[in-house]
Chains A and B, each alone.
Chain A
Amino acid sequence: MGIKNSIQEKISVLDMKNGHGRRIKTIAALVLVYLIMGIVTKNRFLTGTNLLAVLSNSVVNAFIVLGFCFIFATGIIDLSIGAILVLACNIGGILAVKAGLGYAGLIAGSVIVAVILELFNMKLIQVTRIPAWIFGLGMAMVYEAVGAIYNSHQIAAGLQAVSLSDSCRALGQPPVNILLLAAGVVTAFLIYNKSTAGIGIRAVGSNKEVAGMMGINTSRTIILSGIIGGIFIGFAAAVNESYAGRVVPSTGLNSITLIFIPLAAYLLALAFSKTFNLTIAAALSSFIITSIFNVLTIMGVPTGTWQKVIMGASVIICGILSARTEKGDVK
């Protein structure tokens, strides 16, 4: 039996080595893909300036994906996140400009709105017990309508949705947005992997009954996932408002298209989660997806039509990749 145990221990070590090997292979494959993208764009993609722009453009999506990591982890697919993002952008903007609170108002407004609305969603999903995606669709329409009412009031007053103009724009520009994302990834990593809250969220998402039996308060954990996810969505809103200057609310479930690219990135992150930790994979996947659309733009693929087709296809492809992910060692 001793010999057998020794063999099994060696197999465990071998598995860990395989994990490192897999990581190296994945990085090598990514480098190859980026080289190919450089070649097909005749070196217009692989320039320092362009890559920095891609990285900067991926920050908002990366924050949304980090939010997904917590909200979706409990098994709740909330489709109203796009609408929450738009509302959070506007409230943050109003506090920054109209209330004169500057960056503090922008960040606090965005984060508080996102957290409150996610909290509200999570609570109502638990109370009503209806499927989260149906609830999310309904709430997306409600939140869009709230934004539209505000926008129409502004228009009636001869104004537009709040604009940051030249103030508070550094949050959406490098290096501040990139540093902010780095801090976000570190925070998400610690919460997701090294806190009882994160472990509880993952446990509830994986098996609610067993998690409950192990003393985890499942209702409270789901609420907690909404709060943590809401914080990241709030930062995404703050950065987005700062970057865009103005986010105009719209209706007709247009807000759902806002989360399509982050959704593709999230699914890709799941596919990468065997190789990298999910939170790191979230930022990496956002960068990759943004890179792909950047390449398409450089190559002159029309944004309104073919890029939309590719966006839809990318969600499906990333979904297939994530479903094919074989679960193994945990990083």
Chain B
Amino acid sequence: MEQSGNIIFKAESMRKYFGVTHANDDVSIEIPAGQIRGLIGENGSGKSTLISMIAGISRKDFGMMYLCGKPYEPESPLGARNCKIGTVVQELGLIDGLPVGMNLFLGAMDPFKRKNGILDTKKLFAEAQHQLKKWGFPGISARQSTESLSVENKKIVELVRALSINPELLILDEITQALSLNNRKKLIDIIIQLKREGKAVLIVTHDIEEMVAITDFITVMRDGRIVAERESEQTTTGEIKRLMVGRDINNVYYRESELSPIGEDTVLEVRNLCSDKFRNVSFDLHKGEIVGICGLSDSGIHELAESLFTVRKVKGGTITLPGKNAALKTPKQAMDLGVGYVPKDRDHQALMVHDSIKHNIALAAVEMTKQAFGFLNPAKAEKLSEDAISRFQIKTSGPDQTVSGLSGGNRQKVNLARWTIQNKDVLILDCPTRGVDIGVKAYIYRTMTVAKENGVSIILVSDELPEIIGMSDTVLVMKEGEIVKQIPRSSGFSEETIIEVMI
């Protein structure tokens, strides 16, 4: 593709309105060839809106875009794809009912058509497998049903779909948080490879350290505008944080106390838990303790979280609450006995995204909204939702707003709020900060710390090691479905010591 003045993509005075909200207000950006550009900002700052216009998902209201010097105005994601702009969106964008290979080339199958119009599926699947192998993911079969893939592998398929067009500009919207450590490293290698080939990459991530480390240049957005641009080598994470929120962020990000007291009482006891994804998992969770569970992809950490809340069947073993003399059998029983669960896949497993905030909160806290004879009290549900919105500073028009209208961070606040407003004894949090910005992240960590201080015990499952290290009293490292090491905070664990065990 012909290039003009070494600039691959340029946008001038881009504006996008949603009612009275200026989602993008006079946004101009230039991305030269061979540059890895970071785009960062709080939830609702306008990053995803800008990306959606570049990717052809939504139309601009005003402004101009140029690709390799020529005016560029995609009418659809397919149009953007045809112009060699590959995008991986924040939310999952695959067709579950089609195999992986067909998802890779959906909307662009003409090269696989025979003269009689019939698709040469053998060629299509072979090419799809070639692409998966070429980009370092041969373990995913092109013929495999997409539905059967994990969230992480679905994201990888989306990535390979974007890469398969040999993009001039690759846009990655919060993809890294869906990936485990090993696949994150693969992604970084791919990005560096594209840079060497003179392609441009626009990457959005809430992991500021990661962004500063892998990008050449960082654009910071706030309230729909670009507020700063910095060379990555010349900036610091502290400066980026300050630019994002418009004020200094307290240095204390994770919990303050290095070693804080843990109760002697065991509140949750797991013994020899086995399933098709993990085996012989045993550990104790004490009152006021945060147990962090980490591991590479396929280590079974997320499946273990599901099993601890009994939503995933186990083949053997027990989960008991000694203080209540009960063994957990069903999610309803777990909820009744004071256990809450925040799953990793927020939009599919946790929230009813097309329903209101009020109903989402009331569903988890149904006991708190009951009145005489077990009937639900709408006024109580309303009050509970208003309290949660106020306490968690959820940016919304009110309890009746549908969750689908909220930003990712605010959705996660709803997800967490509905459990933390109840006096649960045990919280199982699977990637609670996935897809949320620095401000929300800090808030979630603060909430966890306060809960811990109030005697709530937390199981924190995460793909992010700094989070595990920063928040846990005890770290359980899993490898190939087994706990291979249990490290107490007193031993002064570090990323290096944990990675050594994980790999």
A4 nearest CB neighbor, chain B only = B139
Flag the segment in B142-150, B260-268, B372-380, B438-446 that touches A. B142-150
- B95 close to A207 (CB less than 8 A): yes
CB distance from B88 to the nearest CB of A (A): 12
The listed residue (B57, B95, B107, B139) touching A5 by CB distance below 8 A is B139
Q: Does B102 contact A (CB under 8 A)?
A: yes
CB distance from A194 to the nearest CB of B (A): 4
CB distance from A256 to the nearest CB of B (A): 27
Q: Does A12 contact B (CB under 8 A)?
A: yes
Q: Does B141 contact A (CB under 8 A)?
A: yes
Question: Which residues on the B side are within 8 Å of A215 (C-beta)?
Answer: 76-79, 81, 107-108
Flag the segment in B113-121, B285-293, B412-420 that touches A. B113-121
Residues in B100-125 with C-beta less than 8 Å from chain A:
102, 106-110, 113, 117-121
Question: Which residues on the B side are within 8 Å of A139 (C-beta)?
Answer: none
Question: Looking at chain B's contact residues, is the secondary structure mostly helix, strand, loop, or mixed?
Answer: loop
Cβ proximity bits B80-105 to A, threshold 8 Å, 1 near / 0 not: 01000000000001111111001000
Question: Which residues on the A side are within 8 Å of B97 (C-beta)?
Answer: 202-203, 205-207
- B96 close to A199 (CB less than 8 A): no
Total A-B residue contacts, Cβ distance less than 8 Å: 96
- A206 close to B98 (CB less than 8 A): yes
Question: Which residues on the A side are within 8 Å of B81 (C-beta)?
Answer: 215
Q: Does A328 contact B (CB under 8 A)?
A: yes
Q: Does A196 contact B (CB under 8 A)?
A: yes
- B107 close to A207 (CB less than 8 A): no
Q: Max chain B CB contacts within 10 Å: which of A205, A328, A330? A: A330
Interface residues in B, total, Cβ within 8 A:
36
- B106 close to A216 (CB less than 8 A): yes
Question: Which residues on the A side are within 8 Å of B140 (C-beta)?
Answer: 8
Residues in A165-190 with C-beta less than 8 Å from chain B:
190
Q: Does A195 contact B (CB under 8 A)?
A: yes
CB distance from A209 to the nearest CB of B (A): 9
- A202 close to B95 (CB less than 8 A): yes
Give CA–CA (A298, B99) in the complex, Å: 43
CB distance from B122 to the nearest CB of A (A): 10
- B98 close to A202 (CB less than 8 A): yes
- A206 close to B95 (CB less than 8 A): yes
Q: Does B138 contact A (CB under 8 A)?
A: yes
Cβ proximity bits A74-110 to B, threshold 8 Å, 1 near / 0 not: 0000000000000000000000000000000000000
- A213 close to B77 (CB less than 8 A): yes
Question: Which residues on the A side are within 8 Å of B78 (C-beta)?
Answer: 213-215
CB distance from B116 to the nearest CB of A (A): 9
- A194 close to B106 (CB less than 8 A): no
Give CA–CA (A11, B298) in the complex, Å: 14
Q: Max chain A CB contacts within 10 Å: which of B139, B140, B145, B182? A: B139
The listed residue (A7, A11, A196, A205) touching B119 by CB distance below 8 A is A196
Give CA–CA (A326, B78) in the complex, Å: 31
- B121 close to A193 (CB less than 8 A): yes
Q: Max chain A CB contacts within 10 Å: which of B57, B120, B138? A: B138
- A203 close to B138 (CB less than 8 A): no
- B144 close to A15 (CB less than 8 A): yes
Question: Which residues on the A side are within 8 Å of B96 (C-beta)?
Answer: 206-207
The listed residue (A205, A213, A330) touching B143 by CB distance below 8 A is A330
Question: Which residues on the A side are within 8 Å of B106 (C-beta)?
Answer: 199, 203, 211, 214, 216
Give CA–CA (A205, B148) in the complex, Å: 17
Q: Does A35 contact B (CB under 8 A)?
A: no
Question: Which residues on the B side are within 8 Å of A1 (C-beta)?
Answer: 136, 182
- B145 close to A328 (CB less than 8 A): yes
CB distance from B444 to the nearest CB of A (A): 29
CB distance from B470 to the nearest CB of A (A): 28
- A9 close to B138 (CB less than 8 A): yes
- B144 close to A329 (CB less than 8 A): yes
The listed residue (A9, A199, A213) touching B76 by CB distance below 8 A is A213
A331 nearest CB neighbor, chain B only = B143
Q: Does A210 contact B (CB under 8 A)?
A: yes
Cβ proximity bits A202-237 to B, threshold 8 Å, 1 near / 0 not: 110111001101111000000000000000000000
Give CA–CA (A1, B110) in the complex, Å: 34
Question: Which residues on the B side are within 8 Å of A324 (C-beta)?
Answer: none
Give CA–CA (A196, B139) in the complex, Å: 27
26 contacts between A and B (CB under 8 A): A5-B139, A8-B140, A11-B139, A12-B141, A194-B120, A195-B119, A199-B98, A199-B106, A199-B119, A203-B95, A203-B106, A206-B96, A207-B95, A210-B94, A210-B95, A213-B57, A213-B76, A213-B78, A214-B77, A214-B78, A214-B107, A215-B77, A328-B145, A329-B145, A330-B99, A330-B144
3 closest A-B pairs by beta carbon, nearest first, are: A8-B139, A215-B78, A206-B97
Question: Beyond the given A203-B97, A327-B145, could you list 6 further A-B residue pairs with CB under 8 A, ordered by the A residue number?
Answer: A12-B139, A199-B119, A215-B77, A215-B78, A216-B107, A328-B148
